[in-house]
Structure formats: C-alpha cells, structure tokens
Amino acid sequence: MKTALLMGVVTGLFMAIGCIIGLLLCGYFGVSPLYLAVVFAGLAVIVNGGVYTFSDRIMLRMYDTTVVSENIAPELYSKVSQLSMKAGLPMPKIGIINNESPNSFATGRAPENAVIAVTSGALSLLQRDELEGVLAHELGHIKNGDMFISTLAAVTASTVFLVKWLWTAESKGLFTQVRRLFLFVLVLPASLLIRLAVSVNYEFAADETGAKISEKPNALADALIRIEESVMETPMLLGNPAASHVFIVNPFKADTITHLLCVSPPLERRVQTLREMAHLSS
C-alpha cells in the first residue's frame, strides 16, 4: 500500500514539475504545459520502475559501498553471522562504506537479499559491544520489514529532489527563476514523500529489536551518542539529505533542508528508551 502511494505521489510530482516548466517556458518557446506534464508522467513511470527494481543497488552505489566477503572482513562477518542466527534471519551481505564519518544502514527488498552497510569510520571508532549494537539495530530493520520502504523513499526522494545541484548552481536570468521554483516545488513534496512513507517509529522499533538481539541496550545507546558526536564534528559530505532517515543517525550537516527532510526521532529519546530497557533487564 505504501509503495503504491509513494509511486503515485512521485508521478503527480513529476507532472506538476512538467506543468510548471511549461508555464515558465511557453512564452519563450511555445511549449505546452499539458504536453510537458504527459512527458514527465512518462519519466515518472520509468523512474518508479527503476527505483523499485534497483533501489538497494542504487543506495550502495550512491554511498560508495563495497560488498565484502568473509575473507576480506572475517571479524565483521563473524559478528553479523552470530547476530543473524540469534535473530533467526538469513545471513545478509555485508557492505563497507568508504567514509570516515561513522554510520550504518540496511537495504534490500527482503531478508533473503538484505545488505548491512557500515562506514569505515564506524569500524575504526566504535568499541566491540557498540559495533555489535549497531549491527543488531540494522538486523532489527531487516526483521521488522521496514528497510525496503525506507530505501525506496530515500532513493525516490533523492531522484526527484536533486537539491545539491539546485541549491549550489550558479545562474542568472530565467534559469535562476526556474531553479528557485524547482527548489520550492521539490523540497516540500520530497519532505512529504518521506514522511508519508517512513514512520518515526521505525527507529524506535529497530532499537528495541536490536537491543533484544544483542542483549546490550546500553552498548547501542553508547554507540548512538558516539556516532552523533562524531557526525557533528565530521558530517557526511557524500549523498543527499533525502536519504538521512535510512542511516542509524542522521549523517548530514544540520541545516534547514536537512531538518525538513529528517524524520528520525530525537536521539535523546532513543537513548533514554534504551537505558530504560537496560534498567528493566538488569
């Protein structure tokens, strides 16, 4: 249901963009707004099909992720294997994101083809128990079945948003007007798109499930604090704010656009909930 709604919103958004471009250009080139709306609707169908089929691969490519074997990362592979068995899940593929900012995400259409990706920064920064907590959190997303819709929303919003280009492009004249209108038209719908598809409860649920898998809620809480502190000093430069909800902690520099697109709950609430879990289980 959410997948169909997401694709419907994308189609409507593309048609609106086509109409707006047509209205802006009809006085200059005689372009019909209706014609461009139909053309952009066709583009939306292509985008929807591609994103639905390849969203996980797009995410991995977008964040420079290399899928590694047991021979390449034996210790990491062993940790994920043990946690997967405890969770009753098939062994996911493991990806290492070439980025010094510590973070992680899970992607894939189903548990059978899931990928857990962690940054090189997380592998070097986190303590053993903290890393296990992070890996268990990502397994929580897989077990709870929310990773695909989150990935789909992230890739779709990133595809239609193009905010980095729109925000930084240097231009004059007509293109400046088009750029500003695009920015207005795209930011709010992209934000709505993500908020329609992704529940703020996904992170709470993954925290809870992950803490039960690892049996170390305090370690996950410590990892969240350590990751956020590091991100504040060294935010991730690669990627798009529209995908911030996929990561265990928002990896991007805080600004107006990132705030609009972020649906993750406050980290303080997540840490408090995990501390309470640890207290109840002690």
Q: For residues 274 and 157, state if they share a domain.
A: no
At residue 209 the predicted structure's pLDDT band, cuts being 50, 70 and 90, is very high
Q: For residues 48 and 110, state if they share a domain.
A: no
Task: Judge whether 130 counts as a catalytic residue.
Answer: no
Q: For residues 125 and 67, state if they share a domain.
A: yes
Top-confidence residue, 162 or 269: 269
Number of domains in the chain: 2
For 122-166, strand residue ranges (E) read none
pTM value surpassing 0.85 = no
Which residue of the set 130, 138, 203, 208 is catalytic? 138
Q: In this structure, which amino acid lies at residue 206?
A: A
- Mean pLDDT of the 230-234 span: 93
Listed residues 130, 164, 197: the one ending a domain: 197
Listed residues 180, 197, 214: the one ending a domain: 197
CB 86 within 8 A of CB 182: no
CB 234 within 8 A of CB 227: no
At residue 165 the predicted structure's pLDDT band, cuts being 50, 70 and 90, is low
Q: For residues 190 and 218, state if they share a domain.
A: no
Residue 212 clears pLDDT 60, i.e. is over it: yes
Residue 263 clears pLDDT 70, i.e. is over it: no
Residue 259 clears pLDDT 70, i.e. is over it: no
Per-residue buried b or exposed e for 241-254, using 16+ beta carbons within 10 Å of the residue's own CB: bbbbbbbbbbbbee
What are the backbone dihedrals phi and psi of residue 117, each rounded to the nearest 5 degrees, phi first? -115, 135
Q: For residues 133 and 214, state if they share a domain.
A: yes
Q: What's the mean per-residue pLDDT of the chain?
A: 82
How far is residue 146's CA from residue 153's CA, in Å, rounded to a whole number? 11
pLDDT digits (tens, 9 = 90+) for 33-53: 777 778 878 887 887 787 778
CA-nearest of 209, 186, 172 to 257 is 186
Top-confidence residue, 146 or 76: 76
Name residue, tokens 């890393």: 131
Residue 163 clears pLDDT 50, i.e. is over it: no
What pLDDT is recorded for position 154?
77
What pLDDT is recorded for position 215?
96
Q: For residues 97 and 113, state if they share a domain.
A: yes
Q: For residues 50 and 113, state if they share a domain.
A: no
Domain assignment of residue 171, given as a range = 2-58+150-197
Top-confidence residue, 202 or 16: 202
- Mean pLDDT of the 221-226 span: 98
Q: Which of 6-15, 85-94, 189-198, 262-271 has the highest mean pLDDT?
A: 85-94
What pLDDT is recorded for position 155?
74
Top-confidence residue, 109 or 213: 213
Q: For residues 128 and 264, state if they share a domain.
A: yes
What pLDDT is recorded for position 167?
47
DSSP-derived secondary structure letter, 266: P
Q: For residues 16 and 107, state if they share a domain.
A: no
| Bridge pairing between strands 93-97 and 65-68 | antiparallel
Top-confidence residue, 222 or 254: 222
